[in-house]
Amino acid sequence: MNDTFLKACRGEKTDYTPIWMMRQAGRYLPEYQKVRANFTFLELCKTPELCVEVTLQPVDILGVDAAILFSDILIPMEAMGAPLYFHEGRGPIFPEPVRTREALDRLIVPDPELHTGFVMETIRLLRKELKVPLIGFSGAPFTLATYLIEGGSSKVFWETKKMMFTQPDLFHSLMEKITACTSLYLQAQARAGAQALQIFDSWAGVLAPCDFEEFALPYVQKIISDLKATGLPIIYFANNGATLLELSVQSGADVLGLDWRIDIGDAVKVVGNRAVQGNIDPFALMLPKDKLRQRIGNLLHGARNAHGHIFNLGHGIHQFTPPDQAKIAIDAVHELSANHKYR
């Protein structure tokens, strides 16, 4: 068992810096496309044997140090009773957005084994196959709320912020229900065998720090405190969150995920004795090999004082990235970090 990733999460010394990539199982891999060609995205998410196959692909093909469960952050929202489909091109759609007390009251707090048993089954199957740790995950309540309120992806978050500012009680009630669901969902993943848990707050960066503190952070804190008893490392990734980093430390997470907009050395000074994960610009994977290796060396050096560093991209790998470029980066992280010149 390669436990380098778990050691780094706990701030323990490692022989080299572990790496995995957000969205490492996905469309940039021809092997994923081949599986996906025969099924819709939701069919794929709900078939454990297929989820196992695509989860293993980046581990086998690229040699990453951790696997991330193949699923989607919106799966438990569908289980709450919000109809969901994925439009090829437009992404996720909730045709019945949650914008009223009545719509909120219709949502349930699902039993994770009963309503999302396929996720737990995927985890149990994966643990029999994997030689690297398995990361389970969820969305953070604010990010999940944006999808339910907007009815899908958004750029400006008009409906979300309108509810926050004009009906704060309704907004907080929705956040409480999503939080209850997410907390149970992650606890069930831990029981099924997940070895670390990442909370994705993809849209936290659209909030002013004061609004993040009032409307988003308390719910992340609640989930993380509920998870303490599992003993698993918790990673909190607030995308576009450089201006929220000091507050994000208060989430209680063991590892802070960083997007590429912040210098990793600066971030290390803010997070203190917590580990960091990140943070190369996903598009920098397109650099020529020597420049890519140089950038990776600089990043490793920048993180040398971290209380644990897990190398990752600053956000998900772009779907048109050639897998060979991802492989160059992974090999470079392993090779350069084993050399004391960099760490």
Residues forming the active site: 23, 27, 36, 72, 147
Nearer to ligand 1CP, 135 or 163 (CB): 135
CB of 101 to ligand 1CP, least distance (A): 26
- 110 or 257: CB nearest ligand 1CP: 257
Q: Calculate the CA dihedral of residues 177, 178, 181, 183 and round it to 10 degrees.
A: -110
> Sign of the C-alpha dihedral, residues 161, 162, 168, 169?
negative
Q: Which residues bind ligand 1CP (CB under 6 A)?
A: 22-27, 36, 41, 68, 70, 72-74, 91-92, 137, 153, 200, 202, 239, 316
CB of 87 to ligand 1CP, least distance (A): 9
Least distance CB 92 / ligand 1CP (angstroms): 5
Query: Cα-atom radius of gyration of the chain, to the nearest Å?
Result: 19
Least distance (Å) between residue 328 CB and ligand 1CP: 19
Closest approach, Cβ 20 to ligand 1CP, in A, equals 9
d(CA 50, CA 1): 23
Q: Where are the alpha helices (DSSP H) in the chain?
A: 4-9, 30-36, 41-45, 48-62, 75-79, 101-106, 112-115, 117-129, 141-150, 158-166, 168-192, 209-211, 217-227, 245-249, 264-271, 289-302, 323-337
d(CA 330, CA 238): 23
For 264-278, the DSSP string reads HHHHHHHH-SSEEEE
What's phi and psi for 128, nearest 5 deg? Answer: -75, -25
Q: How far is the CB of 331 from ligand 1CP (least distance, A)?
A: 19
Which two structure tokens, joined as six digits, stand for 132? Answer: 């690297």
| Cα dist from 38 to 34, 155, 301, whole Å | 8, 31, 44
> Which is closer to ligand 1CP, CB of 23 or CB of 172?
23
CA-CA-CA-CA torsion sign (210, 215, 220, 222): positive
Contact 282, 37 (CB under 8 A): no
- Cβ proximity to ligand 1CP, 297 vs 314, nearer residue: 314
CB of 143 vs ligand 1CP, minimal distance in Å: 6
User: Given the complex with ligand 1CP, which of 97 and 265 has the nearer CB atom?
Assistant: 97
Nearer to ligand 1CP, 68 or 287 (CB): 68
CA 339 to chain CA centroid, Å, is 29
Q: CA-to-CA distance for 23 and 44, rounded, in angstroms?
A: 15
Pick 73 or 164: Cβ nearer ligand 1CP: 73
For residue 306, give Cα distances in angstroms to 248, 274, 292.
Answer: 16, 8, 22
Peptide bond into 279 cis (omega under 30): yes
d(CA 303, CA 34): 37
